[in-house]
């Protein structure tokens, strides 16, 4: 009901807050449960955002397909970075995550033909998908999509931390 009464700008801010809540949940798993301080956590977030924007600009994929593909690409990159970083611990781990974050920042800033550099990517279309998925390209529909993903991630995180694996994470 909230998105129906909010002005456009407020709805956009609320949607962005939910997206940042998803980011904070993932960071809480990393720092709060494993006690590993990651300075490169935003790099995967940024890579996923750029990948989704690039897919929407350069392919004919609908937004609802571009988002999970970009998330998978970001996950693959994050797994590679994690494999390298988890060879270290403590301050060394943190410095490695910072180094990878700076590397990704430099690539995003300098590779202007792909990333747009400091200007970023402009004109990203909200392409509707098949069936009733066109609902998610409106601001209200996108809000509900983000809310649905956030709730699914929250349930997943709760199940994870309450599982035997979660007990291992807590030490």
What would the mean pLDDT of 32-53 be, rounded to a whole number?
89
Q: What is the pLDDT of residues 128-166, one digit of tens each?
A: 767 666 677 788 888 998 999 999 999 999 999 999 998
Q: How confident is the model at residue 8 (pLDDT cuts 50, 70, 90)?
A: confident
pLDDT given for residue 132 in this prediction: 62
Reported as a single tens digit per residue, the pLDDT across 55-71 is 999 998 888 888 899 99
Q: What percent of the chain has pLDDT above 70?
A: 95
Residue 63's domain comprises 2-170
Domain total in the chain: 1
Which structure tokens are listed for 38? Answer: 């990651």
Q: How far apart are CA 131 and CA 52, in angstroms?
A: 21
Q: Rounded to two decimals, what is the model's pTM?
A: 0.81
Cα-to-chain-centroid distance, residue 50: 10
| Dist. CA 14–CA 12, nearest whole Å | 5
How is residue 86 written in tokens? 């988890």
């Amino acid at each position: 009901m909230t998105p129906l009464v909010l002005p456009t700008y407020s709805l956009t801010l609320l949607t962005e807050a939910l997206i940042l809540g998803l980011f904070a949940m993932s960071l809480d798993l990393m720092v709060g449960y494993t006690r590993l301080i990651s300075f490169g956590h935003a790099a995967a977030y940024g890579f996923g955002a750029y990948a989704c924007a690039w897919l929407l600009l350069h392919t004919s994929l609908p937004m609802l397909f571009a988002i999970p593909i970009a998330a998978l690409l970001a996950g693959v990159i994050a797994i590679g970075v994690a494999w390298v970083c988890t060879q270290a611990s403590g301050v060394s781990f943190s410095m490695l995550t910072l180094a990878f974050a700076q590397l990704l920042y430099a690539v995003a800033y300098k590779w202007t033909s792909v990333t747009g550099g400091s200007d970023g990517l402009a004109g990203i279309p909200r392409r509707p998908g098949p069936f009733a998925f066109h609902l998610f390209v409106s601001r209200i529909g996108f809000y509900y999509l983000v809310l649905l993903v956030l709730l699914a991630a929250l349930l997943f995180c709760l199940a994870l931390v309450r599982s035997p694996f979660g007990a291992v994470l807590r030490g």
